[in-house]
Amino acid sequence: MNVAIMPWVTIRTGVLSADGHEAVLKEYLCDWPGGCANVAEHVVSVARDVGATFAVCPEHATTRNERTPDSRPH
């Protein structure tokens, strides 16, 4: 069983398709500490044993690369 731990959001568009179903968008949110509301686009790590994934938005993907080991969030 694959379980995603990172937050995701469902957006109902209000637009109906030809078959009468409403178009729905589902996106994972950035998993950066502090609650970033951007869409996650870069997977940083995966722990398959517990079904955990850590993914970040483009802004935090570049921030992560610029940090030193001493500046990691605790």
Q: Which distant-in-sequence residues (6+ apart) come within 8 Å of 40 by Cβ? A: 6, 27, 28, 29, 30, 31, 55, 56, 57
Encode pLDDT of 8-21 as tens digits.
778 888 889 889 99
- 38-58 mean pLDDT: 84
Encode pLDDT of 55-73 as tens digits.
889 998 887 545 445 545 5
54 φ, ψ (degrees, to nearest 5): -120, 115
